[in-house]
Structure 1
């Protein structure tokens, strides 16, 4: 009898899920929730959302995940913030000047910017925060310290080549003026200052190591303040009366449940307990997508975004310290089947690392440089596996485990991929789900063999996809070190020639994906979100990031 694959079974479950979802549901085209609920929401201006994982930290220097990003964006504001077109507009800085050579930025801070306790937000607060990120003695080491390497002297200070922070190109010339000097012209630097690693931090934190875990000591400068954090249950932020643009903040409160169950999230949305469901902080069950597309089509926001879903190999762990074995695993899955039969959200199979939608020299990078770094080829994959095993002296492959953070979607993808590896390579792979904080810790400490991963850009330039794999990056959690790769990224950092930069990135992607196969691209994300009809002002950017700060109910 022919073996029935797991993917076939998943397809049958999807059909069954669609039928079950239709039982007792609303008629086609009818929205969820009642007019009474909508009226109450408009009166109370309280937004209810879900986070599929609890943020490990609310310290801007230590954050590195989308869950923390969403909440930090509610509570803090950088020198600039991004508008509905992802363009930088005034934040704490009301205006700025950029020198003709692109190296010097002078930011003028608004005098009415205040911390939630009433203290003025000053240029010295930014200097303090950035020094804290770059200080090599900060524990644990901030993963995004390298994002500040654009600043003159920042890398040398972070790398302990100097202990004198005055050599770093950031200076408060007075309480409301911040001067920043860069190593090289960086067109996207202004937008980068909206990223959470660049947020100011109240200087009281230097005396309290646990400040970011207690609402009582979380002094913030953004539209909302942290008022409740019940571990494993609920996070709540409330409108900040001292925020300079308080008059334009219409929500009084945002409450966040904490559940990694997509089924629970969708059920809560249908019943009116949630006003927003789905990405980037939650998920809609893959087996419910057909029903959602049919029944909630007027509330569904489905669009391609510049982010990628992939698996990564720990190149220091056996058997994945062998590039041929990594290539065999990468070539032996069917990405189109995964997006058609498992995720069902119109994603595109990925054969490179930079997604469509990211800027290139004149057009999109992916349009100018195709993602054809490898192909799916089961016969070649078997050959690669045998050659790799022979090089390592294996008669059988060592046990292999794939880890992923707890999520229905990640589980279904992991099971489908593991089944493909079994069918196409004859390799048994154990799949293991882990709680978000544990999962991140294991990745950072290289305590894994294969791990699920996803990357959303921090700014619209290919650099954000490549600088995280340099040997000095705090986000490099695959153990990859390659001097040729580092040199290409360094050249791209320093070059003012955008065409040359894009060629450097293509060569780097060639090393990362084709030559070394450090990563296993699976698909380019589609953002899948449900919004109640009277919820307005939610911004979902080109990368799939979400900004709730100017949201409101009408």
Structure 2
């Protein structure tokens, strides 16, 4: 049965509306002419600075505010963005040359130059920026060496709370050669350390393989041939920022009145925890094809309330619809439903740090037991109901190997579900580690506030209780609070999810190398690390893929994370909203949307 929505989307159409700030960020005092599309965003963006952003709740906006060298077109294919054409690549696969389009501009009218890209990528790699996604530029020659420069001094082993212990981890020392060329007379030890650190940074920065040859030409040299490097140039961490604006005002991204971008839309108002308002950027190279006057993202963690706004025609597009509503609309074959493809995995992270000596998840058998006790098919059929697939590993379907075959099929199902075996492993693990049921019952599963995450967490909690006899607590928190706690390793178990940044299995695996910025479980396995390193360093695609297959098998044997299901992305689009599309690696793109 088809259920058709009737009537005009009157609340979507705000013609010649003057948008002003009611609090939070100052308004950019920009009049919006034409239709404003109102949509939801599940969490407050922690930042709209591409170098510092780290989640889909930010990338959804960034993909409309900025444009990289390449971008995903209406068909979801990689296409030129700021670049005039696809890059030329040297025969050895190491040097990429990008030529920028003529007359591309920032939202403030400044020209976008190759120097802006050079500055932006070096800024991401600068250790002082502390970008969590700097590793995405380690493929660039000298990128990792620059990003990992340490200030001279003594570094101590951290305790479970992230505080220094008395145990020395390592020391970064200054040699006489390091002091060469520096005027250090009368300087304190700290001042000398700062001066030498600055010298080291400058030297490593100069060695990074990203150079603006002229205003229109950017040359990028890689450490090793990287087939998916072009995909990365469409990823938000590699978006450009206006060098002049950033250098003049380090807080440029915190306020709409100082925010400058180069995408299809420009920021005009940011009322924190309420809404983000944008207007069409007339300086964008393809502005003539943009029909909307602007897009407003309303910040709503409650997806039931968000759905009510869609149902009353306030929202033109709804992401993360309530699971019960989604299931009903799918059963009714409702035309507003779109089941977008996605390369991503929903999982739970297990904190493996020793903590107080009573952390059950330091024990392999206990981790395996928690994974085996889940019924993933029940979760996707009875809770998520959006076409998700029970996880078979960390790497989802949709990625291919060197022979253009489905990578997941070749590595097989690495997830075992067996309640009897899970109970046995739990008992053995508790005996080995001196852990009791009482210790396990003190563990709390952290998830970011969302009705869908809550329902999944409750189901998982019940499965562990029924199948293992343990009672894990539940705790919800704002997404940014959850991220902060994960970065500080201040959790027992935590909801995780990862959507690929590029089309290669590596995007799902290198998160878990020892010391990685996204390695929230604090997992460390030298064999896994070596396989990932070799896969990154070889140009032999067969060797790369085989190493990654072995690495995933090790990861799933060690189980620092518990994969639950492979993502799809269901979303709703009003019938009179046309031109919305969703690339495989991104949220829906609204750039060319039109309200009829």
The answer, yes or no, to whether TM exceeds 0.5 is yes
Q: What secondary structure sits across from 1:217 in the alignment?
A: coil
User: 2: CA distance between counterparts of 1:44 and 1:293?
Assistant: 33
Determine if contact 1:143/1:473 at 8 Å carries over to the other structure. Answer: no
TM-superposed CA distance for 1:35, in Å, is 3.4
**Is 1:192 the equivalent of 2:236?**
no
Q: What secondary structure sits across from 2:326 in the alignment?
A: helix
- The more displaced of 374-383 and 389-398 is 389-398
User: 2: CA distance between counterparts of 1:116 and 1:241?
Assistant: 8
Paired residues in the alignment total 519
Q: What secondary structure sits across from 1:124 in the alignment?
A: helix
Match in the other structure for 2:491: 448
Determine if contact 1:41/1:553 at 8 Å carries over to the other structure. Answer: no
**Is 1:410 the equivalent of 2:453?**
yes
User: 2: CA distance between counterparts of 1:38 and 1:208?
Assistant: 37
**Is 1:65 the equivalent of 2:55?**
yes
Match in the other structure for 1:493: 536
Match in the other structure for 1:156: 145
* Structure 1 unmatched ranges of 5 or more: 1-27
Match of residue 480, structure 1, among 485, 507, 523: 523
**Is 1:290 the equivalent of 2:331?**
no
Instruction: State the 4+ residue runs in structure 1 displaced beyond 4 angstroms.
Output: 38-43
TM-superposed CA distance for 1:175, in Å, is 1.1
Q: Give CA-to-partner distance per residue, 1:48-67, whole Å, 9 cap, x none.
A: 11001111111111111001
What pairs with 1:5-20 in structure 2 (closer than 5 Å)? Answer: none
What pairs with 1:243-258 in structure 2 (closer than 5 Å)? Answer: 243-258=284-299
Q: Give CA-to-partner distance per residue, 1:66-88, whole Å, 9 cap, x none.
A: 01101011111111111244332
Q: What secondary structure sits across from 2:131 in the alignment?
A: coil
Match in the other structure for 2:347: 310
User: 1: CA distance between counterparts of 2:304 and 2:274?
Assistant: 17
User: 2: CA distance between counterparts of 1:194 and 1:543?
Assistant: 10
User: 2: CA distance between counterparts of 1:377 and 1:119?
Assistant: 61
What pairs with 1:514-553 in structure 2 (closer than 5 Å)? Answer: 514=557, 516-543=558-585, 545-553=587-595
Determine if contact 1:239/1:251 at 8 Å carries over to the other structure. Answer: yes
The 1:472–1:397 alpha-carbon spacing in structure 2 relative to 1, beyond 3 Å, is same
Match in the other structure for 1:174: 214
Q: Give CA-to-partner distance per residue, 1:107-139, whole Å, 9 cap, x none.
A: 11123111111111111111111111111122x
What pairs with 1:428-447 in structure 2 (closer than 5 Å)? Answer: 428-447=471-490
**Is 1:368 the equivalent of 2:341?**
no
Match of residue 75, structure 1, among 60, 65, 70: 65
Match in the other structure for 1:37: 10
Determine if contact 1:79/1:93 at 8 Å carries over to the other structure. Answer: yes
User: 2: CA distance between counterparts of 1:479 and 1:208?
Assistant: 36
Match in the other structure for 2:246: 205
TM-superposed CA distance for 1:406, in Å, is 0.2
User: 2: CA distance between counterparts of 1:39 and 1:304?
Assistant: 27
TM-superposed CA distance for 1:544, in Å, is 5.3
Q: Give CA-to-partner distance per residue, 1:506-545, whole Å, 9 cap, x none.
A: 111111112x101101111122111111212212122453
User: 2: CA distance between counterparts of 1:475 and 1:345?
Assistant: 27
Q: What secondary structure sits across from 2:567 in the alignment?
A: strand
User: 1: CA distance between counterparts of 2:34 and 2:121?
Assistant: 38
The 1:259–1:296 alpha-carbon spacing in structure 2 relative to 1, beyond 3 Å, is farther
TM-score under structure 2 length normalisation: 0.84
Match in the other structure for 1:324: 365
Match of residue 384, structure 1, among 418, 422, 425: 425
Q: What secondary structure sits across from 2:306 in the alignment?
A: helix
The 1:160–1:153 alpha-carbon spacing in structure 2 relative to 1, beyond 3 Å, is same
Larger Cα Rg: Structure 1 or Structure 2? Answer: 2
Q: Give CA-to-partner distance per residue, 1:197-249, whole Å, 9 cap, x none.
A: 11111122134332211001111111111111101111111111211221121
Determine if contact 1:29/1:294 at 8 Å carries over to the other structure. Answer: no
Match in the other structure for 1:423: 466
- The more displaced of 221-230 and 543-552 is 543-552
TM-superposed CA distance for 1:293, in Å, is 2.0
* Structure 2 unmatched ranges of 5 or more: 16-32, 151-199
User: 2: CA distance between counterparts of 1:189 and 1:207?
Assistant: 31
Determine if contact 2:391/2:415 at 8 Å carries over to the other structure. Answer: no
TM-superposed CA distance for 1:37, in Å, is 3.3
- The more displaced of 52-61 and 466-475 is 466-475
Q: What secondary structure sits across from 1:510 in the alignment?
A: helix
User: 2: CA distance between counterparts of 1:260 and 1:36?
Assistant: 23
TM-superposed CA distance for 1:329, in Å, is 0.6
Determine if contact 1:31/1:295 at 8 Å carries over to the other structure. Answer: no
- The more displaced of 296-305 and 233-242 is 296-305
User: 1: CA distance between counterparts of 2:262 and 2:127?
Assistant: 26
User: 2: CA distance between counterparts of 1:128 and 1:548?
Assistant: 28
Match in the other structure for 1:401: 444
User: 2: CA distance between counterparts of 1:33 and 1:414?
Assistant: 37
The 1:425–1:39 alpha-carbon spacing in structure 2 relative to 1, beyond 3 Å, is closer
TM-superposed CA distance for 1:473, in Å, is 2.6
What pairs with 1:135-146 in structure 2 (closer than 5 Å)? Answer: 135-138=126-129, 141-146=130-135
Q: What secondary structure sits across from 1:47 in the alignment?
A: strand
Q: What secondary structure sits across from 2:257 in the alignment?
A: helix
User: 2: CA distance between counterparts of 1:261 and 1:457?
Assistant: 25
Determine if contact 1:250/1:550 at 8 Å carries over to the other structure. Answer: yes
- The more displaced of 29-38 and 319-328 is 29-38
Determine if contact 2:12/2:36 at 8 Å carries over to the other structure. Answer: no
The 1:39–1:288 alpha-carbon spacing in structure 2 relative to 1, beyond 3 Å, is closer
What is the CA RMSD across the aligned residues, in angstroms? Answer: 1.8
Q: Give CA-to-partner distance per residue, 1:242-285, whole Å, 9 cap, x none.
A: 1122112111110111111121111111110011112xxxx211
**Is 1:354 the equivalent of 2:327?**
no
The 1:479–1:207 alpha-carbon spacing in structure 2 relative to 1, beyond 3 Å, is farther
TM-score under structure 1 length normalisation: 0.90
The 1:290–1:145 alpha-carbon spacing in structure 2 relative to 1, beyond 3 Å, is closer
User: 2: CA distance between counterparts of 1:267 and 1:153?
Assistant: 50
**Is 1:101 the equivalent of 2:84?**
no
